[in-house]
Structure formats: structure tokens, C-alpha cells
Amino acid sequence: MNFTLHQLKVFTTIVENKSITKAANELNMTQPAASIQLKNFQDQFDIPLSEIIGRQFYVTDFGREIFVIAEEILNKTETIQYKTEAFRGLLSGKLKISVVSTGNYVMPYFLSGFLKKYPKVELVLDVSNKTTVIKDLEQNLVDFSLVTVSPSHLEIEELPLMDNHLVLVASKENKIISEKGTSIFKTIPLIYREEGSGTRHTMQQFFKQEKIAPKIKLELTSNEAIKQAVVANIGVSIVSLLSIKNELLQNELKIIPAKGLPLKSVWKLIYLKKKTLSPVAKAFLAYVASEKETVYKNYFSWIDNTEFN
């Protein structure tokens, strides 16, 4: 048996993507080149690792077992590289973070200085919905997750970063009139995030507390889609203030004052309590803890000057 580390990498990437074409794109290879590497790896086994049915790629049971071993080998190889760098006095390794979609307006500012300080660190950042983010954390696929609503079923540690303000917004063309009470939510059509979203969770808690049955016009699966729908004057919505900075500056959206708003939650970096953090993860946690006030001052102080009422 004479497989190479490159063949292991190609095989695991194909399995992860469930597609030779997608894996080839990720590895910056041509599709034929990836297919050849997969064939050369397969030729060393007399039991099929995968099969193509129709045009769909499937992994066999044997292939899944080889995949697990291949991942372990590749991880050990990376560890050798990182240990070598560490002995040379350089912090290196992978930092894996999953972020809920609105957190994409937050996380880059906490990563920028850290990556400049430690250029050998390799970042893997996944931006997804809350359900996927928590699943990645639960399965120990990431070092940290950035959320506003913590999972109640997991034992976690938390590092609060900054407040998250949720405001009611409408198109500049919308003639809606603010009201002192909460009755405004009984008449205006609201655009909601999908079920499982942290923003939606906070909204629902507010409506439940105020005994409000809001009029839901439609549900959209991303913050960007909601912003565009509001700009187009399809309806109004409650969104994170962080996500609409540009739209406010460009006079495309306006904040509608309403009793009880803005809603507040907290952006926090969470990780599994029993997880053994890598040197890179420990360094990032320490960096964020020491620099979060400076990051807020440099990039988010505009929030303090925003008028909500």
C-alpha cells in the first residue's frame, strides 16, 4: 500500500463535499485531476470506497471507515507542522469558528488584529443559521461559536463581547407612524426570520412578554434578504442595528420608535466546557478578552450615538 498524503486530502475533501467537482474547486484542482487522484487511491483497495449512482457520489460503509482514519492521519500531520512552528516560537494552527449570519457584522473585527498578530494561524470561518452553528459546536467541529442565544442543552463557557440592539426598521418611503404603546405591532405587517434564528427568538420572547400577536407577512432565511425586502417597502422588520449601518447612512432605511425597543441581547463567544482548547484557541480567547473594549471603541462606538426614540 503506497498512498500519499495528497490522495488522502483529495479523498476526504470529496467525501466532505459529496462531490468530485466541488472538492476539486476547493482544492484548486481540475475535476479530471481530482478524479485521477481518487482512482489512484481506490486502486490500493480491493473493496470499493465510493460509487456513482446516476450522477450522485456516494461513500460506501468501508469508505466511511477509511475516511475517519484518513482524517486522523491528516490531523496528525498538521499537528507535526504546528509543533514545529511552536518550537520556532511561532503560533500556528487552525482556528475554527462558526458564526450565526448576523454575527458576520461582528466577528471579522475581532479576528482582524489577531490574524495580523499571528499570521501563521489558519482561519476556518463558517457563517450559517443558528441551528447549524449549534450543531457544529455540539459535534466538536469548531473551537468557538458566536451567538446571542446560548444553547440550553450544552455545557458551555461564555465570553460576552458586546450588546446587540434589535430595532424596528422600515423603508424611507414607508409612511408608518410610531406609537407610544406596543399596539403598532398589531397592525403593521412584519417580516420574520426563519424558525430557529436568534433574532426571531428574541422577538418572540418580547411579543410573548407583551402579550402581542403580531401580523406576520412573510418569513425569509437571511438578514440580507430581509433588509432588501424592507428597502423595497414590502413590509417592516426587527433587525440587528449592526446589520443596517450602511442602509441608514445611505438613507434607505429608518428606525421606527416603539415601546420596548430596541430589544437587547448579547453577542458572546461560546465553547464546550469540557473541550481542551488548542494553543491557537487559547491565544484567541485571551486576545478577545483583552481587546474587546478597544475593538468596540474603534468599530462600534457609532451605536452609542444612534437615536432609537
**Are the C-beta atoms of residues 158 and 150 closer than 8 Å to each other?**
yes
pLDDT of 261 higher than 90 = no
pLDDT at site 106: 95
Alpha carbons 5 and 9: distance in angstroms, whole number: 6
Report the top-level CATH class of 164-265: alpha beta
pLDDT of 125 higher than 90 = yes
Grid coordinates representing 165 are 440592539
Report the top-level CATH class of 5-86: mainly alpha
Share of residues in the chain with pLDDT > 90 (%): 49
pLDDT of 181 higher than 60 = no
Give me the mean pLDDT over the 156-182 stretch.
82
Return the SS3 of 253. Answer: strand
296 C-beta neighbours (distance < 10 Å), count: 17
| pLDDT digit string, tens, across residues 76-97 | 887 777 677 666 666 778 899 9
| pLDDT digit string, tens, across residues 34-76 | 999 999 999 999 999 998 887 888 999 999 999 999 988 988 8
Cis link prior to 262 (omega < 30° from 0)?
Answer: yes
**Are the C-beta atoms of residues 157 and 270 closer than 8 Å to each other?**
yes
Per DSSP bridges, beta strands 263-272 and 144-147 are antiparallel
User: pTM of the full predicted structure?
Assistant: 0.70
**Are the C-beta atoms of residues 164 and 266 closer than 8 Å to each other?**
yes
Mean pLDDT of the chain: 87
- For the chain, residues classed under CATH 1.10.10.10 are 5-86
pLDDT at site 85: 66
Return the SS3 of 144. Answer: strand
Per DSSP bridges, beta strands 121-128 and 93-100 are parallel
Task: Give the residue carrying C-alpha cell 414590502.
Answer: 234
**Are the C-beta atoms of residues 281 and 144 closer than 8 Å to each other?**
yes
Q: What is the DSSP string of 48-69?
A: -SEEEETTEEEE-HHHHHHHHH
| Residues 70-83: b if buried by 16+ CB within 10 A, e if exposed | beeebeeeeeeebe
- Third-level CATH fold of 89-162+266-305: D-Maltodextrin-Binding Protein; domain 2 (3.40.190)
pLDDT at site 71: 87
- For the chain, residues classed under CATH 3.40.190.10 are 89-162+266-305, 164-265
Residue that wins the pLDDT comparison between 235 and 215: 235
pLDDT at site 260: 84
**Are the C-beta atoms of residues 13 and 27 closer than 8 Å to each other?**
yes
pLDDT of 154 higher than 60 = yes
Report the run of H or E that residue 128 belongs to, with start and end.
strand 121-128
| Cα 72 to the center of its chain, rounded Å | 25
Grid coordinates representing 27 are 482544492
Among 235, 256, 127, which Cα is nearest to 182's?
Answer: 256
